[in-house]
Structure 1
Amino acid sequence: MVNDPMNRHDFGERPHRANGSATGRDSEYTGRYVVLLDPNHQDSGIDELRSSAGIASVERVRDPDEGNVAELLERPDVSVLFEDLAAAVVEVRPEQRHTLVTTAEAEPSILAAEPERTVHALPITAPQQAPTEFFPAFRSDEGVVARHTRAEIAAGQGPAWNEDTWTWGLQAIRANLSHLTGHGVKVAVLDTGVDTDHPDLAGRIEATESFVPGETVEDGNGHGTHCIGTVAGPADPRRGPRYGVAPEARILAAKVLGNSGSGRDGFILAGMAWAVSHGARVISMSLGARVRPGELFPQTYEILARRALERGTVIVAAAGNDSDRPGRVEPVSRPANCPGILAVAALDKAIAPAFFSNGAINDQGGEINIAAPGWQVRSAAPGGGYRHLSGTSMATPHVAGVLALLSGAIPDASATDLVAALKAGAFPLTQPVEDVGAGLLQAP
């Protein structure tokens, strides 16, 4: 299937909020295309693209660790084929784009071809706060807090959170009551990189790689470090309450968004190929691009997500922050709007959908699968400190962490079984499934 909206839609500007949400184009196209091939007939598909659409010289990537992938993706004279994914980022001259589309529709070895988009990190910056130095005053009775919290949630009341020992997010998902640690489970976080020297994270990173041309994996933005901290921050952090869901998970940090917070589909494909090659059980993507009402999910990401599930990898992504509740709810962003990817909504401290959290208003994909804490979430920040951020970006790594806990508990489970267990364990909420999916994420 071919989805080719190039030069047809004017998506306008992203809404600007005083709290610091992103501005810029809703949808940005790079001029390249992402092409999905039949894994058993990749050569036929490439040959057809060469002869009919005049694509540039093709560089084959068999090992994403080769070290020159970012540079290849930046070169205008080559197309890049990730053989393990049977996915290519192709350079096409403007006058050949129509031919590419018609070729993809007619050639059975080409499963999908779509314009490459720019993607963005998805935080909503909470009221500005300096890096936190947190000194606990006393320990609370976590069991009592959790019991009260669940009773208050069931009654539709907002709980009063004591964050001396555990962040409110970990309490809400009951991670403070779980004995599981996610020991040895590999979680790939595709984001803005990581502060490899952060005292809470040093020694906990399995592998790193940057797919952003000209940038190392070091996180000059802060978004990636924050997300990684939520997935796998330590059980006993250097300062303040515990904030990591799966403290013994192993992190694969792929930089697919630059220090500016933006990247391209091709960078994400490279990160996905790298994550799969390293045995990631979970891929967490707190990133996306806005879609408009009625827009279909991207076939390229959906096919890749299904292939990943077959290989035992679950992909989870942020639903997006384009809404302004209660008056306006926007559709789930891409690639979270793919049926094969878990779309995560954000909850505030009252266990209600955060004002910015997108909803399931598009058919054929675009569902919300589960909801997690996404407001004023405390986690690691570059430079060894801590920071509070809000957004569906912050909700997503909570889900990735719980998937690591589940995987550690049932290591032989298929990826589909992990997804089913995650949804079955959610705490039902009174809000519509279009806003919260299966409900509030719960740690096993």
Structure 2
Amino acid sequence: MKDGQPVDPLPVDNNWAVDGIRPAPSAHTIHHNAYGGILLKSLSKLLGRAVAPRSKSKPVRRLVVLQNASAYHQCLKELKKQGIRPIKKIRSLHAILCRVHPEADIATLKKHPLVKRIDHDRRIRLHRRRISSPLLAAAACAVSGRQTVPWGISRIQAPSLWGRTTGRSVRVAVLDTGIAPHPDLKVAGSFNTIGSGPVVDDNGHGTHVAGTIGALNNSIGVVGAAPRVKLYAVKAFDRNGSAYMSDIIEGIDWCIRNNIQVINMSFGDPTYSESLRDIIRQAYKKGIIMVASAGNDGPRNQDLNYPARFPETIAVAASDSRGRIASFSSRGAGVDIAAPGAEICSTYPGGTYAKLDGTSMAAPHVSGTAALLLRLHPGMTPKGFRSRIRRSALKLKGYSARSQGSGLLQAKKAAQG
């Protein structure tokens, strides 16, 4: 069982609370009561002092989550008056990302009645296994002039559904390193959480993931699980495959506000984040199917990474072409399904193709399947999708549910289930 269950309404987490704090005033109080005005000004002054340059202490990135929308908007106005520009503003969480000084300022901010919590802005890594050389990865995936159906796409039965559905117009976001221009890919839109410039895939991971989801059925290269899907490149990871938690949260926030139907999340971290959990819950309530890679820690670690460990996500383990669970695939009680994740040939920057391993490569097989099924069943919920793929999965002999979940993904059977 994953950590907890999806619930509604969202509970308020008190892990960051300090004994003796007064409850936050209502929105009405903040707008019309002098006490509310004093609180807002005091909060903005505290933030202003916390971000002010100092000679000795080194500032750290913290996500300041406010109690409600009123406090969030009014605090932003007060900060603007002081000439303070936050690093990020995340509307869905009522959160402001700032560089603050790790002395008494953070402790004082935590005690403020309008502050719900303060989260550490951690670094998160992709779930691709390390490759010795991009050139070797490309050489291992030599694609001739004719189109090839990758073994993983065939194994999950996706081609058998293309007479009925190709995932046409279903909106799938690849929350990753970006998607590079490629003759086998068509990108419908993009959003950059780590800069103001255009989205560029300077790593390759996002482009590879995108190809497994939706490489075009165009007689060249490879073909993805849902070749007519609408792909959206949401860049949160840098060229080194690293992202701040706030970048990921901002990316999910963008997906919520832009009617994305499926989010592929081929990354993870062992440390729980309440802010990440909050935004995942909000996306779930909006009906977004979220697919997350389980992790590449193998059997030595019996827990999944987050966000795969959250009950709102579909946690995906990796299998190989011989019908075995990949040795690197993480085990845990929260695994939902297994999908091909070893020696996966897909699109790569520079108009090339590469063969990569990882639960990162398994997750997009499930995301592509979600697009296929959403086209056939437009009202399908995240819960309904989970139920379909789990009850139709093929059990792999010799593996427990902690390794394979319900078994290997079978798209055709899931469509009928």
TM bin, normalised by shorter chain, reads 0.7 to 0.9
The TM-score normalised by the length of structure 1 is 0.71
The match for 1:331 is 303
- Percent sequence identity is 32
Residue 83 (structure 1) aligns with: 91
Asked whether the equivalents of residues 319 and 341 of structure 2 are also in contact (C-alpha less than 8 Å), the reply is yes
Show the counterpart of 2:376: 409
Choose which of 400, 406, 411 in structure 2 pairs with 1:438: 406
- Taking the aligned partners of 1:235 and 1:82, their CA distance within structure 2 comes to 37
Instruction: Decide which of 183, 186, 199 is 2:168's aligned counterpart.
Output: 183
Pairwise CA distance, 1:85: 4.4
- Deviation, 1:76, is 9.0
* 2:350 match: 383
Contact kept, 8 Å, 1:183 with 1:408, in 2: the verdict is: yes
Match of 2:155 among 172, 176, 189: 172
Q: 1: distance between equivalents of 2:219 and 2:102?
A: 52
Deviation (angstroms), 1:232? 0.5
| Equivalent in 248, 265, 281 of residue 285 of structure 1 | 265
- The aligned residue for residue 180 of structure 2 is 195
Give yes or no for contact 1:227–1:393 (8 Å, CA) kept in 2.
Answer: yes
Q: 2-side partners of 1:76 and 1:237: how far apart?
A: 53
What SS does the corresponding residue of 2:365 show, helix, strand or coil? helix
Identify the residue that residue 273 of structure 2 maps to in structure 1. 298
**Partner of residue 120, structure 1:** 125
Task: Spell out, residue by residue over 1:107-154, the C-alpha distance to the aligned partner (whole angstroms, 9 max, x if none).
Answer: 6x73x54311111222114673334432389xxxxxxxxxxxxxxxxx
Deviation at 1:99, TM superposition (A): 3.6
CA distance in 2, matches of 1:298, 1:56: 27
Partner of 2:393: 426
Residue of 230, 245, 248 corresponding to 2:225? 245
> Which residue identity lines up with residue 376 of structure 1 in the other structure?
E
Task: Give runs of aligned pairs for residues 45-444 of structure 1, distance below 5 A.
Answer: 78=86, 80-95=88-103, 96-103=105-112, 110=116, 113-125=118-130, 128-131=136-139, 132-135=141-144, 165-179=148-162, 180-196=165-181, 198-201=182-185, 204-213=186-195, 216-239=198-221, 242-291=222-271, 297-323=272-298, 325=299, 328-360=300-332, 367-430=334-397, 431-443=399-411, 444=415
Counterpart contact for 2:93–2:275, Cα < 8 Å:
no
Alpha carbons 1:79, 1:90 under 8 Å: kept = yes
Asked whether the equivalents of residues 56 and 77 of structure 1 are also in contact (C-alpha less than 8 Å), the reply is no
Q: Deviations over 1:51-74 (max 9, x none)?
A: xxxx99757xxxxxxxxxxxxxxx
Contact 1:305–1:340 (CA under 8 A) maintained in structure 2: yes
Aligned: 1:33 with 2:67: no
Question: Matched residue of 2:137: which SS?
Answer: coil
Note the C-alpha offset of 1:45.
Answer: 6.2
Query: Which stretch shows the higher mean deviation, 279-288 or 207-216?
Result: 207-216
- For the residue of structure 2 that corresponds to 1:130, the secondary structure is helix
CA contact (8 A) 1:31 1:91 kept: yes
- Write the distance in 1 (CA, Å) between the matches of 2:106 and 2:390: 41
Q: Deviations over 1:217-264 (max 9, x none)?
A: 12111101000011101123523xx44000111011011101221111
Conserved? CA contact 2:148–2:220, under 8 Å: no
8 A contact 1:316–1:399 mirrored in 2: yes
Question: Structure 1 unaligned runs (5+)?
Answer: 5-29, 60-74, 138-163, 292-296, 362-366
Question: Using the alignment, how far apart are the partners of 1:280 and 1:90 within structure 2?
Answer: 28
What SS does the aligned partner of 1:94 have? coil
- The Cα shift of 1:437 comes to 1.2
Per-residue CA deviations over 1:191-210 (Å, capped at 9, x if unaligned) read: 111112x1011xx2110122
Q: Contact 2:72/2:94 (CA < 8 Å) preserved in 1?
A: no
Out of 219-228 and 115-124, give the one that drifted further. Answer: 115-124
Structure 1 residues 262, 195: CA separation in 2 closer, same or farther (over 3 Å shift)? same
Instruction: Name the aligned partner's letter for residue 183 of structure 2.
Output: P
> How far does residue 173 in structure 1 lie from its aligned partner after superposition?
0.8
Read off the aligned partner of 1:339 and give its amino acid letter: P
Q: Deviations over 1:302-350 (max 9, x none)?
A: 2222211111111111111123x4xx23521122221212221111222
Q: How far 1:79 moved relative to its partner?
A: 5.2
Amino acid at match of 1:133: A
Task: For structure 2, list consecutive stretches of 5 or more residues without a partner in the other structure.
Answer: 1-12, 17-58
SS at match of 2:374: helix
Count of residues in correspondence between the two structures = 348
Quote the Cα distance in structure 2 between the aligned partners of 1:46 and 1:394: 40
